């Protein structure tokens, strides 16, 4: 039986280069970068090299990249640390209805602590309208957090336009972007976009789990969430996860060096899957109609008359691995906030699957997925009608 992994938005398999970098750190270059001896110096050089790789990919300064345990910590830190650092300027914050739980739950925490939250709507394709954002900004708005690529339907938000619009209304506010599904997939330029904070994660680009970054503009002050030994310039204490950072650096180097080529390839594979899905009866796609406004690796489809959990496991029995939504919320029974925000009814949302690709997937794999779906859907729909 063929195996096809299409849950890359949840996590990716580690690339050979990233695996080798992790192994070398675990077995040979195992020094603590804070140590003064040679082993420590070697670790410190590797730490700086990984930081430089990510900084170059974002076109920012090396000193503006801070390593964390992953996207969730980075998002928490940007939102909680950023808002609390500006509490004397105001207590109004803004986000959207389609953010990742690590963002939306951070804002719920701020609400509990007395901040006022505005949640922006999106249109049926998942786009945040710059005019809605501009209208929501007030003199006491201190922080905005909006994602670059939606993790369920793949919408590429107009981040540059949104940030420039926000800063034209209130230049002193902080603008944070969750770029976990964007880093290493599409070009990002936070400094020229007037973005103050940006999040990325290793395991979405064929690096190991447990490593991420937060870009903090050199002109921005945020409060640390973790206190201790003063690592990461005193803003993120704790001995650095050197195996994770080494693997992240290697994965980032690969992804960034071939960013355009990988994106074009994934778009071609995605197009093969999209065209096939559109040819199947009672299947509708969610997200942008224009493929260039959608991430190259994400596709959301609703299969009328079949519960997503049933179809997911039927595909799994055929060696095909997909998702019913965000991996961080897929065990919850509530309707996906993203699908609700774009106007799907509950029944349609409960029949929706997410297909997420990587550079290792092939068009032949998509043909196999479509063949299996064409056989499964009629059988499952007959069973459902009974």
Nearest residue to 50 via CA among 255, 259, 258, 297: 255
- Please report how the helices 308-316 and 363-385 are oriented relative to each other, as an axis angle in degrees rounded to 10: 130
Compute the distance between CA of residue 384 and CA of residue 386 in angstroms, rounded to an integer.
Answer: 5
Residues serving a catalytic function are 328
What separation in angstroms does the CA of 7 have from each of 124, 322, 336? 24, 5, 17
- Do the Cβ atoms of 99 and 178 come closer than 8 Å? yes
Compute the distance between CA of residue 202 and CA of residue 18 in angstroms, rounded to an integer.
Answer: 10
Query: The sheet that has 298-303: what strands, in order across it?
Result: 283-286, 298-303, 352-356
User: Per DSSP, what are the bridge partners of residue 116?
Assistant: 92
Supply the DSSP string of 134-182, one letter for each residue: HHH--TTEEEEEEESB-TTT-BB--HHHHHHHHHHH-TTSEEEEE-TTT
């Amino acid at each position: 039986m063929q195996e096809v992994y299409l849950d890359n938005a949840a996590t990716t398999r580690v690339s050979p280069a990233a695996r080798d970098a992790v192994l070398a750190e675990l077995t040979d270059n195992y020094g603590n970068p804070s140590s003064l001896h040679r082993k420590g110096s070697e670790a410190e050089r590797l730490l700086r090299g990984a930081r430089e790789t990510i900084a170059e990919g974002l076109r920012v300064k090396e000193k503006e990249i801070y390593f964390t345990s992953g996207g969730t910590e980075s998002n928490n830190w940007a939102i909680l640390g950023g808002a609390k650092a500006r509490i004397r300027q105001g207590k109004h914050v803004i986000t959207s209805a389609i953010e990742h739980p690590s963002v939306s739950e951070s804002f719920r925490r701020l609400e509990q602590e007395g901040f006022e939250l505005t949640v922006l709507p999106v249109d049926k394709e998942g786009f945040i309208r710059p005019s809605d954002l501009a209208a929501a900004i007030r003199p006491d708005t201190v922080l905005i957090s909006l994602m670059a690529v939606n993790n369920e339907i793949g919408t590429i938000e107009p981040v540059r336009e949104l940030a420039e619009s926000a800063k034209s209304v209130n230049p002193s506010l902080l603008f944070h972007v969750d770029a976990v599904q964007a880093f290493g997939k599409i070009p990002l330029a936070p400094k020229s976009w007037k973005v103050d904070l940006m999040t990325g994660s290793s395991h979405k680009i064929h690096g190991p789990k447990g490593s991420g970054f937060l870009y903090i503009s050199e002109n921005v002050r945020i409060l640390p969430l973790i206190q201790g030994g003063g690592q990461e310039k005193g803003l993120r204490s704790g001995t650095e996860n050197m195996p994770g950072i080494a693997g992240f650096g290697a994965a980032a180097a690969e992804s960034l060096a071939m960013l355009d080529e990988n994106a074009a390839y994934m778009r071609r594979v995605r197009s093969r899957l999209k065209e096939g899905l559109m040819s199947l009866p009672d299947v509708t796609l969610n997200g942008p109609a224009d493929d260039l406004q959608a991430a190259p690796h994400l596709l959301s489809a609703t299969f009328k008359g079949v519960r997503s959990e049933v179809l997911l496991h039927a595909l799994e029995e055929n060696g095909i691995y997909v998702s019913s939504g965000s991996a961080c919320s897929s065990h919850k029974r509530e309707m996906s906030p993203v699908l609700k925000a774009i106007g799907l009814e509950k029944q349609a949302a409960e029949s929706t699957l997410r297909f997420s690709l990587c550079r290792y997937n092939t068009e032949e794999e998509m043909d196999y997925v479509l063949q299996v779906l064409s056989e499964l859907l009629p059988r499952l729909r007959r069973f459902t009608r009974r």
